[in-house]
Homo-oligomer: A and B are copies of this chain.
Amino acid sequence: MDGRAPGKSRIGILTSGGDAPGMNAAIRAVFRAASECNIEIVGIRRGFAGLIDGNLFLMDRSHVANIIHQGGTILGTSRSETFKTPEGRRIAADVLQNAEVDALFVIGGDGSFRGADLFNDETGIPTIGIPGSIDNDIPGTDFSIGFDTAINTALESIDKIRDTASSHGRLFFVEVMGKSSDLIAIESGIAGGAEYLILPDNKHAMDDLCSRLTQAFDAGKRYAIVVVAEGACPGCSFQIAKEVSSRISMESRVCVLGHTQRGGSPTARDRVLAAKLGVSAVNAYMKGYAGVMVGEVRRSVILTPFDKVITGRQKPEPNIIRLSHILTK
């Protein structure tokens, strides 16, 4: 990679952690906004691991052509143990300095911002975060890029299940993603008209579920759809289904959506959010901010220091919880 053009500055950009639909739209927005400001963009492949390996390239217009609608991330992603060490971050800083890169943009989740925070503080290289995560569990933004696509993906599957459920009867379990957050389960459950949600922290779910289902089937209901948040145990809904089936004597079927929820072309909402946050990140850099994440809260773009992002907790809208009680029980 050649040296920086005279009078230009350079921003390095990477995607980190779990990929999320809309990351490409964010990369494109950063590139476009930076170009307007005469800033060069250096793509870094495979996240912090690639940064440490020096996997960098100068991006031009062709790299962001025809990517706005693609799921995944053209830069690739990874999890890096080395970047968690001061030595790893030191190497990363050297790589950037050798490539004459002035700042680092990180698109990822709160885990990634932990490293970005240390990197910003230790190296003095201004680092800015853009929230991308299907889980929507990042403080400092109402929505993270990828969440809207993920719930629509889950919803499409629930809709298809309803077709066959309402034709044939029976009990269906649909397992959706969500490690630290229940939001995919809650919103896709409300939107899909699910009869019941099983969330990881609900200890009494099983008894409650069985008694409600028995009541409902006794009252003439012929089918029910239960949305299960995978929590710490992907695939466990097979076990849950088996237990419920045996307790209430009703056949059940399971589907586990898994990583389909990370893929697919991003929705309009995710792309518009990616556009907003990408452009705002460039603006924040131009104004001299560092060590912050851009987010959208109550429809305004705000900046939150990384340390507040990584120690905070995203609070689910109280409305949503109440809604799920009324509409999905």
* A168 and B77 contact, Cβ closer than 8 Å, known pairs A192-B68, A254-B258: yes
Q: Contact: B238 with A152, CB < 8 Å?
A: no
Tell me, in angstroms, the Cα distance from A169 to B18 when the chains sit together. Answer: 11
Tell me, in angstroms, the Cα distance from A276 to B190 when the chains sit together. Answer: 10
* A163 and B268 contact, Cβ closer than 8 Å, known pairs A168-B78, A254-B256: no
Tell me, in angstroms, the Cα distance from A71 to B163 when the chains sit together. Answer: 5
Does A200 make an interface contact (CB < 8 A)? no
Does A271 make an interface contact (CB < 8 A)? yes
Q: Which residue of B lies closest to A324 (CB)?
A: B275
Copies in the complex: 4
Tell me, in angstroms, the Cα distance from A228 to B299 when the chains sit together. Answer: 26
Q: Contact: A162 with B32, CB < 8 Å?
A: no
* A260 and B161 contact, Cβ closer than 8 Å, known pairs A148-B268, A269-B269, A323-B275: yes
Contacts of A160 in B (CB 8 A): 71, 153, 259-264
* A73 and B167 contact, Cβ closer than 8 Å, known pairs A263-B161, A267-B152, A279-B327: yes
Which of A188, A257, A263 has its CB near the most chain B CB atoms (within 10 A)?
A263
* Interface residues as binary, A38-50 with B (CB distance below 8 Å gives 1, 0 otherwise): 0000000000000
Q: Contact: A256 with B259, CB < 8 Å?
A: no
A163 is contacted by which of B72, B166, B192, B299 (Cβ under 8 Å)? B72
Q: How far is the CB of A181 from chain B (nearest CB, A)?
A: 15
